[in-house]
Structure 1
Amino acid sequence: MDAFRELHRLITGYQVSQAVHVAATLGLSDLLADGPRSVAELADATRTDARSLRRLMRGLVAVGLYVDTGDDRFANTELGDAFRNDAPRSVAGWARFVGRPFHWQAYASLEHSVRTGETGFAAVHGMSLWGYLAEHPDEQNVFDDAMTALSRAVADAVVDAYDFGRFGTVVDVGGGRGLLLSAVLSRYPSVEGVLFDRPDVAAGAHQLLAAAGVAQRCKVIGGSFFEAVPAGGDVYVLKAVIHDWSDAESVEILRTCRRAMSASGRLLLVEQLLDLSPDPVRTALSDLTMLVVAGGQERTTDEYRSLLSASGFDLTRTFATASDVFVIEAAPTQ
């Protein structure tokens, strides 16, 4: 290994992140979906400066997203094609989020978080991520798009790994726009669903659920999971929720779920696991994002076991999926 080159690649990784963010924001992969286009055509479609756009395209060619076909024309590579918004597991929504100034500025406070243990986001913006999103609805939409993109990347793997068909009603707590729940309901036509999230977030779920053809079997309810969640479900699913919160806040959320459940109910946490991750780099960096942005953390299996125990649950089984998340099943302590 050439240590200098590898270190240089690590140091300049932020440049790649921003270039890919801009590609997603401009929708370049979508514009190239039907074949090569010239820089002039792309600049006209995106209302950008052609000379600057050419330089961006040169950088994106270097990292493998696009290919220069000659005559100042560019086309998608296989990677670029997968970056289209309509690709099966597109993460373009995530790319649009991570480069937004409010998120980017927070990450610049990583050193502050390491030195103090405080969340960098609050140090920069004077409030939590959730408070900021509530005050900035445009950024809330970007964030919701990002969470939907991440759900799209793992939803099929989760439904493949766990049998939801034995339940009558699935309650998706903090379910965003309902991508995961729609995958469950599409796979199991006899199952009913309840989508629960903050009112402003839950309101955006109707369109996705209708497009999936499951709206008639799914209630959408707004509220706070710190106060109460809908009662009567057979299984309660929290995907990428608990990792956003501190231990104390996580126990509070889990106890709220426990109060809504019967003794025969089940709780499912869909999370990455530090001790079992098939992609340790991604999971470790996600943990840093929790430190800097949300104030939570990624955890080990035993750490989740402890949280669940403190909340009135016993961890019963852990299911690996074909993605980097696990389904952690828990039952009320008897």
Structure 2
Amino acid sequence: MSQDEDRTTGGRTGTADDTENLRRSAAFLVDEALGFLFPAALRAAADIGVADHLADGPATPDRLAAATGTDARNLHRVLRLLATRGVVTEDERGRFALTAAGQALRGDVPYSVRAAVQMLTDRTMWRPAGELTHCLTEGTTAFEDIFGLPFFDHFAKDARTAAVFHVGMAAMSDQENAPIAAAYDFPESGTVVDIGGGHGGLLLEVLRRNPGLQGVLHDRSHVLAGNRLEAHPELAGRWRPHEGDFFAAVPAGDIHLLKRITHDWADEDCVTLLGHCRRALRPGGRVLVVDAVVPPGNAPHQSKALDLMMMASLTGRERTEADFAELFARAGLRLSRVIPTPTVLSVVEAVAA
């Protein structure tokens, strides 16, 4: 090989600019590969509740370590990394303070996402994400290979994991529910069925904003036990719980809500579920799938990251507008419109075909 040839350009003569670009690429990719340590640090901070001890102002790692029962030097190292992403900030005296962006890591504030961070970085999400190569070579989720059961079957046998998931999902949804409920023009009367509605946060917001509506919260019995609607006496008589498996049947209604449900499941499962909705839909009714809609192009969008989480741990996926249209058609429905909301989610509306 001549002196003008460069191994990094495949044996072709490369310019100095080519070599510099490759060096920059190498540095960039190494930095990206280290990116997994930020959510690891974020989880550690959530686990020990350090943000709550910053509510009254800046504090040193020594003071925070004493309050949280942790090692001061290692806590400083975690906080130092979080400061690089604007979750906390370190002053010239070595004290750390929460930024505006980090406030929701506290557990004592409205819209706290502490439980959501713990869910998204739980071992049920974290470990399969490290096995994406398995998903590529085998075409299947990595979850069952690691835990021995499919995702939701594992939940049924592991109360700890189930609690982390449902509490975390409720926390993740809290900041979404009000703007989603406000973004859609619900009818003045009728029954809204929140299918797989968890603790009922979205249904609560819908009923608050639409006093003429009745509600049904449909989920498994152990999930319904944690519902939030019972804590609101002003809604008494306007809603009822309904225990069931949405793959078997769903209650009749004028509006069927499915928030963050279809992305958990493979296409065939979604067609089954949407088919149940179609049969249970009253004349003139609508199915509202509230999920991320993957946009075209190269721009960042949370749906593209969530899609890999679905690939690693579940059987579902995030979908484009065309994907939703195809699912609806197979279930006897027709996509009528996609309504964006101020959140990462959209309301994908379907009517009877």
- TM-score, length basis structure 1: 0.91
Which residue type is aligned with residue 185 of structure 2?
D
Which residue type is aligned with residue 230 of structure 1?
P
In 1, Cα distance between the equivalents of 2:300 and 2:81? 27
Question: Are residues 1:228 and 2:249 paired?
Answer: yes
In 1, Cα distance between the equivalents of 2:221 and 2:154? 16
Q: Look up the match of 2:105.
A: 83
Note closer, same or farther for the CA distance 1:28–1:286 as it changes in structure 2 (3 Å cut): same
In 1, Cα distance between the equivalents of 2:281 and 2:144? 34
Which residue type is aligned with residue 338 of structure 2?
T
Which residue type is aligned with residue 138 of structure 1?
R
SS at match of 1:263: strand
Which residue type is aligned with residue 278 of structure 2?
R
Give the drift of 1:86. Answer: 4.4
Give the drift of 1:92. Answer: 2.4
Q: Look up the match of 1:199.
A: 221
Confirm or deny: 8 A CA contact 2:61 2:96 kept in the other structure.
yes
Give the drift of 1:149. Answer: 2.4
Gaps of 5+ in 1: none
Confirm or deny: 8 A CA contact 1:182 1:214 kept in the other structure.
no
Deviation track 1:53-101 (CA, whole Å, cap 9, x = no partner) reads 2222222223221122355532111111133234444432221112222
Aligned residues: 330
Partner of residue 350 from structure 2, selected from 317, 330, 333: 330
Q: Look up the match of 2:334.
A: 314
In 1, Cα distance between the equivalents of 2:85 and 2:261? 32
SS at match of 1:234: strand
Confirm or deny: 8 A CA contact 2:57 2:97 kept in the other structure.
yes
Q: Look up the match of 1:267.
A: 287
Confirm or deny: 8 A CA contact 1:313 1:331 kept in the other structure.
yes
1:1-334 matches, cutoff 5 A? 2-205=24-227, 208-211=228-231, 215-216=235-236, 217-231=238-252, 233-275=253-295, 280-333=300-353
Note closer, same or farther for the CA distance 1:103–1:128 as it changes in structure 2 (3 Å cut): same
Confirm or deny: 8 A CA contact 2:294 2:301 kept in the other structure.
no
In 1, Cα distance between the equivalents of 2:291 and 2:186? 17
In 2, Cα distance between the equivalents of 1:330 and 1:308? 7
Structure of greater Rg: 2
Q: What's the RMSD between the two structures over aligned residues? A: 2.1
In 2, Cα distance between the equivalents of 1:24 and 1:82? 10
Q: Taking CA–CA contacts closer than 8 Å with sequence separation of 6 or more, which of the two structures ends up with the larger relative contact order?
A: 1
Give the drift of 1:211. Answer: 4.2
Note closer, same or farther for the CA distance 1:275–1:54 as it changes in structure 2 (3 Å cut): closer
